[in-house]
Amino acid sequence: MPELKAARPWFAGIDSTVLQQNVKRLDTAYKNFFEGLRFPKFKNRSNFTSFTFVMGVKIQGNKIYLPKLGWMRFHSSRPIPIGFTIKACTVRKRQNGWYVSLRIEDKSVPDYTTKPLKDVVKIVGCDMGITKLVHLSDGSQIENPKFSTTKKAKRTLRIRSRRVSRKAKGSKNRKKAAQKVGLLHQKISNKRQAHHWKVAKKIVDRKIDGIALEDLNISGMMRRCRVKLEEKTGRFLKNGQAKKKGLNRSISDAGWGELILKIEYLAVKQGKVVIKINPKYSSQECRKCGHIDKSNRDGEKFICTECGYHEHADIGAAKTIRDRALKLVRGDSAKPGACT
């Protein structure tokens, strides 16, 4: 850092803790790369949209003091509780303005404690879906609004993106058009986040001791299909990627990962246990005879080819996930790899 400051005198106008946090972020990005994730993306002035202060942040009413920037007005969404101190402050740039998020701490407040597994009696199983966002083992289903994949949303996004491409590169009109696209994405994201919080609260507030969730590899589910080549001519063959593109878009719109994080957060606050279960064959396994076959399932219908047992495929999968979690809690002998 001293060498960077000597080479770039304008670094003196930036708070030292901000520079240190950015170096830590870069270090984390390279560590992730060496562990198998993608190479770090280059950040410039246009796409570097957040920075963090660790010291020197003060708040007085509707004013906040940021080191090297001074006092400025902001909208305080909620007051800081008495006894808490500011540990860090992150400033983010979004399409409709700048946002400040504070990390506060009070060491006298005890940590949340979850219920021991041996005391867990009642569990609800959750199966994530696209037609319905969540299928629950009690037979209920939660709707999926599909905020970005509706006909109206896709048409609006297509029109605004076309307007961006028709503007001259580097022009102010192109930046204005791009900002409108960003505002649409932000609006969709805000709606999705609000819906996720409502769904998570609806699930966690039930009279249960634990929640069984699928241990999903979402990035693996959205990975591109392998390329198929004709042996003689070397021409590319159809590999189903065009059809999978729509599925990937629906999975991204559902936001399963964000929803699971919110469920875990609210469950910890209420002292409830979250158990992640391997969902392998959960929607193909017959709950009556245990027969596993891909042909058991036809869309949302489940009809066992062995014994004829039938029910809703996704609700049956949620019940299977619940039963696997109960086996894990009770210590019953489960199939290898059935629970994680």
Active-site positions read: 127, 214, 314
For residue 250, give every residue at least 6 positions away whose Cβ sits within 8 Å of its Cβ, in sequence order, or none: 130, 146, 149
Contact 146, 129 (CB under 8 A): no
Contact 74, 62 (CB under 8 A): yes
DSSP 119-141: G---EEEEEE-SSEEEEETTS-E
Give strand pairing partners of 312.
Answer: 301
- Cα torsion 255, 257, 260, 262: sign: negative
For residue 95, give every residue at least 6 positions away whose Cβ sits within 8 Å of its Cβ, in sequence order, or none: 179, 182, 183, 185, 186
Phi, psi of 105 (to 5 degrees): -150, 140
Distance between CA atoms of residues 120 and 170, nearest Å? 59
Distance between CA atoms of residues 1 and 104, nearest Å? 27
Distance between CA atoms of residues 313 and 303, nearest Å? 9
Q: Rounded to an integer, what is the distance from CA 133 to the centroid of its chain?
A: 14
Half-sphere exposure of 37 (CA within 13 A, CB side): 9
Long-range residue pairs from 60-63, CB within 8 A, at least 24 positions apart, any chain: none
